């Protein structure tokens, strides 16, 4: 058995263990945050903008679809807010989708789902907390992950 002593290896191993541990403790809100349907949304990603009342959801699908997001403040719905998104063909043969959520109240927890226009294919309910107003003294935590080049 060969011993690897690279500091980079140990740092990478630590990052993987940390990421897996962090993912294991994230709430599932009933386990409904899974892709379903014939053309399910994959790689759902939330981005914050400079304005705390706005967030952007992005995802991809294997075939063309009209994107939609529903959101509200109650777990399990109802979702009083609905918006259609923008859809792009990707050079890799998949399709990218983006939806902008507006009118968010800073610091409020929102529950959302994304999918096609009829929600026949969807990514079940997940949640996020809207960003805080700049200069706020309230605590706001988030997680980020990524892969560094070898």
Number of domains in the chain: 1
Q: What are the φ/ψ torsions at residue 144 (nearest 5 degrees)? A: -140, 150
Which residue bears the tokens 């507006």? 102
Tell me: the pLDDT tens digits for 94-146? 999 999 999 999 999 999 999 999 999 999 899 999 988 877 777 766 666 66
Residue 76 lies in a domain: yes
Residue 112 lies in a domain: yes
Domain that holds residue 56: 30-129
CATH number of the domain that residue 120 is part of: 2.60.40.10
Tell me: the pLDDT tens digits for 46-68? 998 888 899 999 999 999 999 99
């Amino acid at each position: 058995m060969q011993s690897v002593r690279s500091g980079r290896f140990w740092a990478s191993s630590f990052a993987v263990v940390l990421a897996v541990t962090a993912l294991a403790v994230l709430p599932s809100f009933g386990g409904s945050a899974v892709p379903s349907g014939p053309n399910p949304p994959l790689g759902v990603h939330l981005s914050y903008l400079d304005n705390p009342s706005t967030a952007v959801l992005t995802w991809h699908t294997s075939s063309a679809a009209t994107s939609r997001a529903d959101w509200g403040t109650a777990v399990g719905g109802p979702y009083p807010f609905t918006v259609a998104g923008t859809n792009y063909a990707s050079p890799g043969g998949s399709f990218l989708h983006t939806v902008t959520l507006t009118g968010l109240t800073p610091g409020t927890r929102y529950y959302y789902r994304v999918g096609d226009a009829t929600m026949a294919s969807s990514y079940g309910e997940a949640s996020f907390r809207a960003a805080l107003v700049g200069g706020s003294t309230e605590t706001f935590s988030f997680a980020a992950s990524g892969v560094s080049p070898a």
